[in-house]
Structure 1
Amino acid sequence: MNKYWFMVLLAGLVEIIWVVGLKHADSVATWGVTVIAIIASFYFLLTAMAHLPSSTVYAMFTGIGTVGTVLTEIFIFNEPAHAIKLVLLGTLVIGIIGLHRVTGEVA
């Protein structure tokens, strides 16, 4: 994995923080963390997009964020984990991995 694909992964992981923050922030400190996470996430995303195919990067970014956010809501905030939800998340993960494999190491 080159540094730009790592930035996509990092952008997606940081996206989880700000998406959860948008729902659960309730103080100046938690809103501050949310805003910093938004800025960091988009910095990593835009840097990666400058060197990799933007369609694949964006799909991976949103996919990582979606899977991570749903799992965070399930494991930390006790959202229900319906079987179909987990099957669909698995399908999304397979799609993310597939997109990365067919795109290859462009940069």
Structure 2
Amino acid sequence: MKDWWKIVIAAVFEVGWVIGLKHADSMLEWLGTAVAVYVSFYLLIIAGRTLPVGTAYAVFVGLGSAGTVIAEIVLFDEPINPAKLILIGVLLAGVAGLKLVTDQGGEEEWNGSH
């Protein structure tokens, strides 16, 4: 479970650097963006040592995407689009589903033949 938390924290930092790429204006903001890039990918890489990489990356990107859209609405007055919010909900449901069908050891459950 600890490695999944690393993915969640990495996604939070991903939101930070994605917003920084769009809104950074000062050297300090660009430095914060660079630190966020480093931390997010560092956590993703170390979590990927024990989690299945494809699932970990999908969860990382899904949470980061949803977080970025929500942060743009909350922090930068992006207009609220109900269809976009519904699709974010679907995305988060998919991310939760991926997490539920993936065990800590990295093997997805498979009920069919390979």
- TM, length-normalised to structure 2: 0.90
The residue identity in structure 1 corresponding to 2:68 is: T
Q: Indicate the residue corresponding to 1:81 in structure 2.
A: 80
CA distance in 1, matches of 2:86, 2:2: 30
CA distance in 1, matches of 2:104, 2:89: 24
> C-alpha root-mean-square deviation of aligned residues, in Å?
0.9
Q: Which runs of 4+ in 1 moved over 3 A?
A: none
Gaps of 5+ in 2: 107-114
Gaps of 5+ in 1: none
Secondary structure of the structure 2 residue equivalent to 1:103? coil
Q: Indicate the residue corresponding to 2:67 in structure 1.
A: 68
CA distance in 1, matches of 2:23, 2:59: 24
Q: Which structure exhibits the higher relative contact order, with contacts defined as CA atoms closer than 8 Å and separated by 6 or more residues?
A: 1
Q: Indicate the residue corresponding to 1:39 in structure 2.
A: 38
2:29 is aligned with 1:30? yes
| Alignment check: 8 A CA contact 2:50 2:104 kept | no
- TM, length-normalised to structure 1: 0.96
Q: Give the % identical residues.
A: 44
Q: Indicate the residue corresponding to 1:51 in structure 2.
A: 50
CA distance in 1, matches of 2:26, 2:16: 15
Post-superposition CA distance 1:33-79 (Å, at most 9, x none):
00000000000000011111001000000001000000000111011
